[in-house]
Structure 1
Amino acid sequence: MLKVLLIENDLDVLNRMTRRLENSYQVLSFTNSREGKRHFIKFSPDIVIIATDSIEVDIYHICKDIKSDMQISNVKIIVTSTSFIQPELFERYCDAYMIKPFKIKNFLKIITDVQLKR
């Protein structure tokens, strides 16, 4: 079973995302990006979904650090935000991004698409 690490500061959104994913994935959820980052290596996720709105640290650097480390560069990263995300800032270091609010079926489709991406 694939592992998904969710980092989202809105508890309602986090709970909805977790409920939708937990039947198909092993999910570890945090409302705090520092906690999520601390558990990253131990959990060894296949996909990280991180909200830019929940960042106590710079999201760009988190994505860059993951994709620059050969041991974990295969981890897929999906960034979500309530505001416009500059694609050129993230296209090199994340696999997908979504503007909130989003429909859950679109969310699930992006996760599937990201899994197929090489």
Structure 2
Amino acid sequence: MDDAAIIDALERQVCALRDRVEELEAILAPEFDVPAEWCLTRRERQVLSVLVARPRATREAVATIVYGLAREEEVENPAVVIESHVSKLRRKLKPYGIAIISRRFDGYWLEDRKAVRDLLGVAA
């Protein structure tokens, strides 16, 4: 195989892998519209997205989904940062009857995930 053919094959593989990453990201943290009056930051929306997508999420899983696998470069202490995001998110969502539950070593979850999914129009 000549160099051009190798480069072409690698470019096709990269495109296929990028498509698959996008599919997996949509599964792990689907995008949906959040009411503007909730005043959520981008990171808070991402944390909420993780909690809407799964019944329970560990702090590490949330950090990985929100900041990616290379998060050590971006965030010094991701566990503390995630706790901060969750704390702010709890405060902002409480007036709308949405509660985030947490248990040490067990993770975070929405108290009534189905109701939140229905409110946001997220398919089951």
TM-score (norm 1): 0.29
Q: Which structure has more strand as a fraction of its residues?
A: 1
Q: Which structure has more helix as a fraction of its residues?
A: 2
Q: Which has the larger radius of gyration?
A: 2
TM-score (norm 2): 0.28
Greater relative CO (CA pairs within 8 A, separation 6+): 2
